Amino acid sequence: MKRARPPAAAASVASTTPRSMPGDALAHLRDYRERHEHRIVGLMSGTSADAIDAALVRLTGPGLEASPKLMAYRETPLDPSLRQEVLAVAGADEVAPERLMRLDRTLGEVYARAVIELLAEAGLTPDQVDAIGCHGQTIRHLPRAASGGEAHTLQLGSASVVAEQTGITVVSDFRSRDTAAGGEGAPLVPLVDWRLFGSIHESRVLLNLGGMANVTYLPRNGTLDRVLALDTGPGNAVLDGLVRLHTGGALHRDEMGAGAARGSSSEGLLTELLADPFFAIPPPRSTGRERFGEHYARKLSGVGRAMGLSDEDVLATAAELTAASVAQAIEMYLKPRGGVDAVYASGGGIHNAAIMAALERRLAPVRLMLLSELGMVPEAKEALAFAFLAHQTLSGLPGNIPEGTGARHPVVLGHITPGSPR
């Protein structure tokens, strides 16, 4: 029979524990729901992989009722060599695990620096921030239609590295829980769109022109169950790919849409492009660079040149494709649900004059405006959204809208990686 440890020894261990053991890394999260105000940093780097958007957000109030206010915003361009690596890995047919591991760590380090620099500009220290909501860099996204009925998605940017180097708790990997529940894993921003931009006066479409384009439909005075969202197709990714191809990698985007503005869109080629089966898929639907990325740009360039089109004509046709696919999705899937009074645009594509002119023409008489008309910095919207989604996660509340992603039910999104003890 084993003898119990002497009480004196137990007392000795207990007496040394407070000095030898670290503090509670989750202490500041245990009463998260009871506190009225929070500060969260949202991080977003989109499929264009050109910069990290970092937004410091103050949230006042509980759960979905919280009112977010943008306190500071910073855009950190990705180093050209890192961007090239992201695009190369994203477009590769096969990738060595070691390469993925190194890129995951490197992106985590870059995200951490972006947070530290943002907080320095805002005059805050890491212990004054509750959490970081980090979307991560999408490397591969396979929607349900392309992968046997189950969506798969991969974002890199080590949450452990971010937490270690900033000392702040990180909420990450938002998309995989939605795909586990049968959803597309995208788009995830519609919950935030509804909370911030719903109106009792007009039916609105929130349009994001990132590497891909997506829309959120907010019917007039609509409840959350009436929100609809979908990816409409390419945003800037095809244009960026064409510019890299045409310039041998010297340039990475059509600055302000100047190249497309010098060309003329080909109606014949555009009609052929819009016949792509993707545009006939009803929502919920999502897409990525796997469909509308470098491979697509190379094929489009080859077809255009075979038709006798100039590089500028091909750019103009690609810009028209973005606008036409957005307008078609709105006409087919959103207007029948209650009409559309106005479209509010954000994302990098708002700086492309060719895309915006084509959108204005194709959406008329629906008004096209920038999201700044609703009091939001357009470039900061996605980063702010992931700060809000992190707040939802830490509140124990769902962050997806099944009507938008196709998930079987609402789910709490993301993984939580503790920061330093406080």
Domain residue limits at 399: 27-186+379-417
The pLDDT of residue 21: 52
Write out the two tokens for 179.
């795909």
CA pair distance 205, 330, nearest whole angstrom: 8
| Local confidence band at 11 (pLDDT 50, 70, 90 cut-offs) | very low
Question: What is the tens place of the pLDDT at every residue in 295-306?
Answer: 999 999 999 999
Task: Flag whether pLDDT at 1 surpasses 90.
Answer: no
- Global pTM value: 0.91
Q: Locate tokens 């898929």: which residue? A: 281
Task: Flag whether pLDDT at 9 surpasses 60.
Answer: no
Identify the CATH number of the domain in which residue 271 sits. 3.30.420.40
Nearest 5°: the CA angle 63, 66, 68 is: 135
* Count of structural domains within the chain: 2
The pLDDT of residue 8: 40
199 with 152, same domain?
no
If one counts every other C-beta atom within 10 angstroms of the C-beta of residue 71, the result is 14
Q: What is the mean pLDDT of residues 347-370?
A: 97
CA pair distance 78, 101, nearest whole angstrom: 18
219 with 124, same domain?
no
- Tell me what percent of the chain is helix, strand and coil, each rounded to the nearest 5: 50, 20, 30
One-letter amino acid at 406 equals G
In a domain, 168, yes or no: yes
Q: What is the mean pLDDT of residues 338-359?
A: 96
The pLDDT of residue 22: 64
In a domain, 20, yes or no: no
361 with 385, same domain?
no
254 with 321, same domain?
yes
Residues near 262 by Cβ (< 8 Å), separated by ≥ 6?
312, 316
Cβ-contact 108, 157 below 8 angstroms: yes
Question: What is the tens place of the pLDDT at every residue in 94-118?
Answer: 999 999 999 999 999 999 999 999 9
In a domain, 105, yes or no: yes
Cα distances from 343 to residues 23, 338, 362, 373, in angstroms, run: 49, 14, 12, 11
Q: What is the mean pLDDT of residues 68-72?
A: 97
**What's the Rg (C-alpha) of the chain?**
23
The pLDDT of residue 25: 81
Cα distances from 5 to residues 2, 8, 10, 18, in angstroms, run: 9, 8, 7, 21
CA pair distance 59, 172, nearest whole angstrom: 19
263 with 181, same domain?
no
Identify the H or E element spanning 120.
helix 97-122
Question: What is the tens place of the pLDDT at every residue in 158-212?
Answer: 999 999 999 999 999 999 999 999 999 999 999 999 999 999 999 999 999 999 9
289 with 225, same domain?
yes
In a domain, 332, yes or no: yes
Percent of the chain with pLDDT over 90: 88
The pLDDT of residue 49: 86
Question: If DSSP codes are grouped into helix, strand and coil, which group holds residue 227?
Answer: coil
315 with 361, same domain?
yes
Cα distances from 89 to residues 84, 98, 287, 407, in angstroms, run: 9, 12, 17, 28
Give start and end residues of each alpha helix (H) in 123-189.
Answer: 159-166, 175-180
Task: Flag whether pLDDT at 277 surpasses 60.
Answer: yes
Q: What is the mean pLDDT of residues 53-61?
A: 98
In a domain, 422, yes or no: no
180 with 212, same domain?
no
250 with 215, same domain?
yes
Four-CA torsion 239, 155, 46, 253, nearest 10 degrees: -30
199 with 173, same domain?
no
176 with 217, same domain?
no
Q: What is the mean pLDDT of residues 70-92?
A: 94
Question: What is the tens place of the pLDDT at every residue in 129-145?
Answer: 999 999 999 999 999 98
In a domain, 4, yes or no: no
In a domain, 124, yes or no: yes
Task: Flag whether pLDDT at 17 surpasses 70.
Answer: no
Q: What is the mean pLDDT of residues 342-356?
A: 96
90 with 67, same domain?
yes
Cα distances from 337 to residues 61, 126, 162, 323, 345, in angstroms, run: 32, 45, 42, 21, 20
The pLDDT of residue 148: 84
In a domain, 165, yes or no: yes
